[in-house]
Amino acid sequence: MILVTGGAGYIGSHTVRELRKSGFEPLIFDNFSTGHRAFVGDTPCVEGDIRNPEDLTVAFSRYPIEGVMHFAGKALVGESHVEPELYFEVNVTGGCNLLEAMNRTGVKRFIFSSTCATYGEPATVPIGEDTPQQPISPYGETKLKFEQALKHAHYTDGLEYLSLRYFNAAGADADGGIGEDHAVETHLIPLIFDAALGRRKDIAILGTDYPTPDGTCIRDYIHVTDLAKAHVMGMQSLITGGIQSQALNLGTGKGCSVREVIEMAKKITKKAFPVRETSRREGDPPMLVAAVDRAKEVLGWTAATSDLDQIIASAWTWHCHHFQNHE
């Protein structure tokens, strides 16, 4: 059984589906602060908080856990600047509680949901795994601190792990039923859809003076299902023992600008919506694009469904269905 913390959230719920498709039995652990009970379905679930060791004891004592995928955490860059203590409490202390519970029960396989935010503003692009990690937000700092905790657990406790550093997760499950739905939405594509559906008055481009071809930020967008499959492949490799503990980037190796995403969304949605240009948002690097050779070499994984039109089409289908049924 694979414990999936944050398994009712966006990326966690997609990974639960991929685990089941691959023959694993997932167990969700979630406090539902941002996750959705509707995403759980018939998957076994323990409601609890990683900040509470007793909640983790319930999961590890009741179920035969052989590996952990850790998605639970705080993940808003802007919020992390306002509430840094909360981010360290959840992402670092909570994560260490999880490692302690694993060590007590002899569970040695771990997949960590990390982020390209640990790199900060890299000097060169594409960004390789050996790029210096110099985060510029408390969010990125907490993810880096926990990556470091994993290294120590590897050497002291024999933990075998992968830190998977995502670039920009997007899209939705092709079968429907789950997708991106955050109480506080900060991601570009769902914000565009809200403008297309009239749920917001416009979409803002935050900065048009970046040193990029069209002046807007460039990001590496990866389909959430591709991310989920990488987690499953990583766990399979840890179980078979054919992999060393390490960090891997998960991206496509290609970047799309904010303007390109907006234009593709107009094409897919067939909707006209106002676009407003405004000043830069603090802490947004001009360009974040992954070097992806290592994930291919180590896991045999590449992004298979992450063309921009595929991402936006799947997300648009989910967005229309979900919000029409909830309004």
What residues are annotated to the active site?
Answer: 139
57-75 core/surface letters (b: 16 or more CB in 10 A; e: else): eebbeeeebbbbbbbbbbb
Question: Both tokens of residue 29?
Answer: 């652990």
* Whole-angstrom distance, CA of residue 235 vs CA of residue 19: 10
Contact between 314 and 172 under an 8 Å Cβ cutoff? The reply is yes
Neighbours of 27 (CB within 10 A): 24
Q: According to DSSP H, which parts of the chain are helical?
A: 10-21, 53-62, 77-82, 84-87, 95-105, 138-157, 188-196, 224-240, 258-269, 293-299, 308-324
Handedness of CA 282, 166, 224, 42 (dihedral sign): negative
Vertex 58, ends 57 and 64: CA angle to 5°?
90
Quote the DSSP letter at residue 93: I
Report residue 137 as tokens. Answer: 């937000």
